[in-house]
Amino acid sequence: MKIAYLDCFSGISGDMFLAALVDAGIPFSILQESVATLGIDARLVLHRVNRSGIDAAKVDVLVGDGRSTEEVFADSSAASAQLAHAGTHEHSHASDHDHSHGNLHEHSHGRSLSVIQEIIGNSGLSLPVQSLALKAFELLGKAESNIHNVPIESIHFHEVGAVDAIADIVATAAGCHWLGVERWICSPLNVGGGHVHCAHGKFPVPAPATLELLRNFPIYSGGQKKELVTPTGAALLRALDASPSDWPAMRMTATGYGAGSRDLPGQPNVLRLVVGESSAAPAHQAHGDLETGTKVGVIETTIDDATPELISYIADHLLSAGASDVYRTSVQMKKGRAGTLLTILCTPARAQELQRILFTESTTLGLRYREEQKLALARETVSVETQWGAIRIKVGSLGDAVVNAAPEYEDCRLAAARHSVPLKRVMQAALNAYLSKEAGEARS
């Protein structure tokens, strides 16, 4: 199983996560294209920085006039101070201070969740990327809604809805999808200390929204009087269903260091990302070389009184909420009625939330839930070069023998659309490139 470990000894933010992905080997072009398709007049730039002796990647967001969002925020903060001095009240929410690119205040109004959903939904992003990005924003909205005790749609994302945060979240979602990790794990989180200044006053670190999002995560303060975990960083951890843990047993294949905006005295201000294959001992070895240590939750219900449109909507909703797969089977129910067997596969940790959605959104009065042992080929993802760019290949092995290799559909789809060539041609070229690469390695 491919896993990734986020070492949050200096916290986590959206831009740190994004930079760590790039440093771990995600093609920067994938992230740039994900932001370009949003139509928000922003672009990403990549450079190298040194944080207390650690060479790290740093990703900035530039707005239409070529300034970084940090520069825009500085101008916005000055304007806000003048407004405050004149007695004008500006409403905003908990902000991403030290690690983020800054917070673009929209003085007359902010972006509601529905506006952000429209921006992402109307983009050319693949559905898995859209789902992860939207889930992060929905978690942010829910956290703010709980804090202020108001409906989620009345929340306006003045800071986390700014151009930089939208770019960070969407590009991080694209990078995580490209990486193909099956399980995300994070260390205990250093949240920092001191205070953050919000429109409602001065709050101790962690900011209220951050603290709400970090429920059940182990947190501590390493003594730095800075905000080290931002709401955006916390929302991405929650959206990825990251499991808090110490270092997992793994065979490491890649590492990446993503830099925060500021130097911290005596401590590298970086997020460390470690990618590899799980080497945890499986639950049993009855199936030889197959991976057998993973549990999968199975939720099932039969429905005979819902329209196809409703069932399709529910399936999309469940996938967006973290289901691994949702499929429908036509069945004959009692009294000869035609019905649908709806089956949802998920991690056991997501089962309760998905069951709640199924009861809330569907017409069912009951469901079945069980956990089963998952049998899987040992898998890895490799990248090959084609004339239309890099394409990922999913490789499945039984012992030392490769028994399956398939091009990643989303990579092929995007390449076909970008270069106006048939999808089947891109898929065949990617597979040929992989086979040629394997043959060359075998000869050597």
**CA dihedral (388, 1, 125, 41) positive or negative:** negative
DSSP annotation of 229 reads B
Specify whether 36 is located in the same domain as 82: yes
Is pLDDT above 90 for 89?
Answer: no
285 located within any domain: no
Query: Residue 249: what pLDDT?
Result: 86
Mean pLDDT of 224-232: 89
Structural tokens at position 33: 């294209």
Query: Residue 84: what pLDDT?
Result: 32
Residue 232: give the domain boundaries. 2-278
The string of pLDDT tens digits covering residues 321-369 is 878 899 999 999 888 889 999 999 998 878 888 999 999 999 999 999 9
Is pLDDT above 50 for 86?
Answer: no
Structural tokens at position 322: 């973290």
User: Kind and range of the H or E element at 273?
Assistant: strand 270-278
SS3 content of the chain, % helix, strand, coil (to 5): 35, 30, 30
Burial of 12 (0-12, 13-18, 19+ CB in 10 A): buried
Among the three residues 376, 392, 407, which one is the final residue of a domain in this structure?
Answer: 376
Q: Are the C-beta atoms of residues 243 and 186 closer than 8 Å to each other?
A: yes
- For 28-88, the DSSP string reads HHHHHHHHHTTTSSEEEEEEEEEETTEEEEEEEEEETTS-BHHHHHHHHHHHHHHHHHTT-
Query: Residue 149: what pLDDT?
Result: 72
- For 298-347, the DSSP string reads EEEEEESSS-HHHHHHHHHHHHHTT-SEEEEEEEE-GGG-EEEEEEEEE-
**Rounded distance, CA 136 to CA 234, Å?**
9
Specify whether 243 is located in the same domain as 392: no
Is pLDDT above 50 for 77?
Answer: no
Query: Which is it for strands 183-186 and 2-7: parallel, antiparallel or unpaired?
Result: parallel
424 located within any domain: yes
Mean pLDDT of 289-299: 73
Specify whether 14 is located in the same domain as 156: yes
CATH code where residue 322 lies? 3.30.70.1380
Specify whether 241 is located in the same domain as 95: yes
pTM score, whole prediction: 0.65
Query: Residue 199: what pLDDT?
Result: 58
Specify whether 67 is located in the same domain as 208: yes
Specify whether 67 is located in the same domain as 104: yes
Tally of helices (H runs) and strands (E runs) in the chain? 12, 20
Among the three residues 278, 299, 331, which one is the final residue of a domain in this structure?
Answer: 278
Task: Count up the domains in the chain and report the number.
Answer: 3
Specify whether 371 is located in the same domain as 232: no
283 located within any domain: no
CA-based Rg of the chain, rounded to a whole angstrom? 23
